[in-house]
Chain A
Amino acid sequence: MNLRNHDITPPQLAGRVLLWFLKEELAEEVLGDLEEKFFSTLDKKSAGKAKRNYWYQVLKYIRLFALKRNRSIHSNQAAMFKHNILISFRSFKRFKSTFLINLLGLATGLASALLIYLWVNDEMNVDKFNEKDSQRHVQVIYSYPTSGTIHTELNGTPNPLFEALAKEMPEVEYSVPVIVDSYYKGVLSAGDNNARAQYQFIGKGYFNLFPGDFIHGNKHEILSDKGEIAISEKLALSLFQSTEKAMGQLVELKDEGYGGSYLVSGVFKSIPNSSTPSDILFSYELFRNDEMMKWYNGGTQAHLVLKEGVDLDQFNAKIKDFLKTVWKNSNFILYAQPYSERYLYGNYEQGIPVAGRIIYVRLFSIIALFVLAIACINYMNFSTAKASRRIKEIGVKKAIGAGRKSLIFQYFGESLFMAFLSLIMALIIAFLLLPQFNEITGKQLAFTLAPNAIPSIIAITAFTGLISGIYPALLLSGFNPVVALKGKLKSEYKGLWLRKGLVVFQFAISVILIVSVIVIYKQVEFIQTTNLGYNKDHIIKFPKEGKLKEDFKPFLSAIRNIPGVTKASQMSGDLPGDIGFSQGYKWEGMSEEDKNLRFYSISGGYDLIDLLGIKLKEGRNFSRDFPTDKDAYILNETALEMTRLEKPIGQKIGNFNPRASTKEVIGIVEDFHFQSLQEKVKPLFFRFTDQARKFVVKIQAGTERETIKRIEEVYEALNEGYPFEYKFLDDDYQALYASEQRITVLSKYFAGIAIAISCLGLLALTAFSTQRRFKEIAIRKVLGSTGLGIVRLLSRDFILLVLLAIAIALPISYYLMKNWLNDFAYRIGLDPMYFIVAGVLMMLVAWFTIMTQTAKSAKVNVTESLRSE
Chain B
Amino acid sequence: MKETRLGDFEETLLLLVGILDMEAYAFKIAEEFESQTTRATSIGAVHSTLNRLSEKGFLTSEMGASTAARGGRRKRIYTITASGQRTLEASRDFKVSLWNQFPAFAGAKLNFNV
Measured CB to CB, the residues of A under 8 A from B are: 1, 28-37, 39-40, 56-57, 60-63, 65-66
Partner of B42, one of A39, A57, A65: A57
Chain B contributes a number of interface residues (CB within 8 A of A) equal to 24
A578 CA to B105 CA, complexed, in Å: 96
A66 CA to B51 CA, complexed, in Å: 9
A31: B residues at CB distance < 8 A? 70-71, 73
B75: A residues at CB distance < 8 A? 29, 32-33
Q: Known contacts A33-B25, A33-B27; is A61 also within 8 Å of B44 by CB? A: yes
Partner of A56, one of B42, B48, B67: B42
A32: B residues at CB distance < 8 A? 27, 66, 70-71, 73-75
A30 CA to B73 CA, complexed, in Å: 9
Interface mask (B54-75 → A, CB under 8 Å = 1, otherwise 0)? 0000000001001111110111
A29: B residues at CB distance < 8 A? 25-26, 63, 73-76
A258 CA to B5 CA, complexed, in Å: 87
Q: How far is the CB of B17 from chain A (nearest CB, A)?
A: 15
Asked if B43 is at the interface of the complex by the 8 Å CB criterion, the answer is yes
Q: Are B71 and A60 in contact (CB under 8 A)?
A: no
A33: B residues at CB distance < 8 A? 25-27, 43, 47, 70, 75
Interface mask (B85-101 → A, CB under 8 Å = 1, otherwise 0)? 00000000000000000
A36 CA to B25 CA, complexed, in Å: 11
A207 CA to B32 CA, complexed, in Å: 61
Q: Are A63 and B43 in contact (CB under 8 A)?
A: no
- Could you show 7 A-B contacts with beta carbons less than 8 Å apart? A29-B74, A30-B43, A33-B75, A34-B27, A35-B70, A60-B43, A66-B48
A338 CA to B75 CA, complexed, in Å: 68
Asked if B31 is at the interface of the complex by the 8 Å CB criterion, the answer is yes
A60: B residues at CB distance < 8 A? 42-45
Main secondary structure of the interface of A (DSSP, over half): helix
A62: B residues at CB distance < 8 A? 44
> Which B28-48 residues have C-beta < 8 A from chain A?
30-31, 42-45, 47-48
Residue with the highest number of chain A CB atoms closer than 10 Å, among B27, B30, B51? B27
> Which residue on chain B has the smallest CB distance to residue A9?
B71
B27: A residues at CB distance < 8 A? 32-34, 36-37
A648 CA to B27 CA, complexed, in Å: 108
> Which residue on chain B has the smallest CB distance to residue A65?
B51
Q: Known contacts A29-B76, A31-B73, A32-B73; is A66 also within 8 Å of B43 by CB? A: no
Q: Are B47 and A39 in contact (CB under 8 A)?
A: no
B71: A residues at CB distance < 8 A? 31-32, 35
Further 7 A-B residue pairs, CB within 8 A, beyond A30-B47, A37-B43: A29-B25, A29-B74, A29-B75, A30-B43, A31-B73, A37-B30, A61-B44
A32 CA to B52 CA, complexed, in Å: 20
A150 CA to B4 CA, complexed, in Å: 93
B76: A residues at CB distance < 8 A? 29
Q: How far is the CB of B97 from chain A (nearest CB, A)?
A: 34
Q: How far is the CB of A473 from chain B (nearest CB, A)?
A: 44
Q: Are A34 and B48 in contact (CB under 8 A)?
A: no
Q: Known contacts A29-B63, A66-B47; is A35 also within 8 Å of B52 by CB? A: no
Q: Are B31 and A40 in contact (CB under 8 A)?
A: yes
Partner of A36, one of B42, B48, B51, B70: B70
